Structure 1
């Protein structure tokens, strides 16, 4: 990082003329963003102290269309339309006869399921600039000169192996009679997240340096 600490929101933007609340210039390796926190020392410390059961879970929701009913029940289907009007997942299985072999051809929109949003997915709408201080524009993203500009290729090379704690807001909302629609704009107050942590009686380690 280029700064000795993570800045407060009131200190943003870091540079005059940058979009509101941007932190461009914070990281030594800007292509990694917050993944700069994940280094060998932190990964080794977490593996030694945090792993207790060895249980593994997936956070992927699959290539399905997610619908949400008034009864707060999720339904997963492969039927159109896709999530938020996007293209649905398509799969073609090719029989490679006479060999007993199958090939799969799949077509999907990465925004149609759970995914990591890359730095070129959503720009500052008013300014028209994407992440980082080089003033990346839509024309830059669609140009042929820099195919990896703001892509997730740097993340893939760095690899992601870290620790996290999950706060199950949805179940807590149901238990407390609160309406919550994950497919709508539903701000979650910090006070409620803190309440969940208090009720579940766990103490997250907040140091990140």
Structure 2
């Protein structure tokens, strides 16, 4: 079967592509009806090349338990799990209710738009979100899910080794200069189609909180957290690295609360580029194994839930080293 010919990735300086649209957008690059965004670049060739990353056969799942956050933030509901016995038989069914954004998740393109223009990826408007299934995460599922190369930058370990690590449960930024130095120290480079994973140490720090501390954070409207710097430099780095998605172990990818409205990563990545954002990924075991093996790249697969018109989805992610 002939592989689809895709348009080349424009330079960051060429953005926005739709000059009548908001800052940084690539609208129209894959056509006006596109719902995959940068995931278009996860081609069969990219997947085949990523398979070569499987050297040791070590499988590591990257999702936290659905009930990991006993006190979810942003007013989201936690896991509700009911088990029901069928009649008097030794047979059971269960019912699960949860917010897909209350634990490890991919933010879909319906989640966050340009706040000043009220537009989502490819110009989709709020009425489309409520009256159609445009931009649902089911489009990712129908395309075969996500299967490509992952690259882990372990900021938490790097900073700890240099006695630099700021508190992860406070508003602290991870700068592009940090990411570049970590990549150099780990001897990794990026290639088109990669997913970048950033371990900040947030999940490890959160685990150390007692139940009272977790409850207090959940009550905060803007519970502070470490994350990427909101800047032109960050966006240019992510774009020029050829990435198709970015994920971290922190709540919002960017340092929270957000600051620079011109460079909100959620706007540029989700609404502008069609680039999935991963949050609350469990990168603890993956970080340890990558360090032990001296191997920071791996095959990564993720199967989104097949929810028509879904806003977000558990990652169901697996790294294979």
Aligned-residue CA RMSD in angstroms?
2.4
User: Counterpart of 2:158 in 1: which secondary structure?
Assistant: helix
Task: Specify the alignment match of 2:18 in structure 1.
Answer: 15
Contact 1:2–1:26 under 8 Å retained in 2: no
2:84–2:93 contact (8 Å) kept in structure 1: yes
Residue 156 of structure 1 corresponds to: 141
Within 5 Å, give how 1:1-209 maps onto structure 2: 4-28=7-31, 30-47=34-51, 49-66=52-69, 78=70, 81-132=71-122, 135-143=123-131, 146=132, 148-159=133-144, 160-176=146-162, 177-181=164-168, 186-200=172-186, 202-208=187-193
- In the alignment, the residues of structure 1 paired with residue 41 and residue 12 of structure 2 have an alpha-carbon distance, to the nearest angstrom, of 19
Question: Is the Cα–Cα contact under 8 Å of residues 167 and 193 in structure 1 kept in the other structure?
Answer: yes
Q: Which has the higher contact order (CA 8 A, sep 6+)?
A: 2
Distance in 1, Cα, partners of 2:170 & 2:95: 32
Question: Which structure has greater strand proportion?
Answer: 2
Asked if 2 retains the 8 angstrom alpha-carbon contact of 1:122 and 1:130, the reply is yes
Unaligned stretches of 5+ in structure 1?
A: 67-77
1:162 partner SS: strand
Tell which structure's C-alpha radius of gyration is larger: 1
CA separation in 1, counterparts of 2:98 and 2:84?
A: 17
The C-alpha deviation readout for 1:97-132, integer Å capped at 9, x for no partner, is 312111111111111011111110001000001111
The alpha-carbon deviation at position 155 of structure 1 amounts to 0.5
Pair 1:65–1:86, CA change in 2 (3 A)? farther
- Contact 1:93/1:105 (<8 A) preserved: yes
Q: Quick one: distance in 1 between partners of 2:6 and 2:45?
A: 20
- How far does residue 139 in structure 1 lie from its aligned partner after superposition? 1.8
TM-score by length of 2: 0.53
Change (3 A) 1:2 1:26: farther
Q: Distance in 1 between matches of 2:134 and 2:172?
A: 32
SS at match of 2:48: helix
Distance (Å, rounded) in 1 between the aligned partners of 2:170 and 2:116: 22
- Going from structure 1 to structure 2, the CA distance change for 1:2 and 1:190 (only over 3 Å counts) comes to farther
The 8 Å contact of residues 170 and 180 in structure 1, kept in 2 or not, is answered as no
Distance 1:173 1:83 in 2: 26
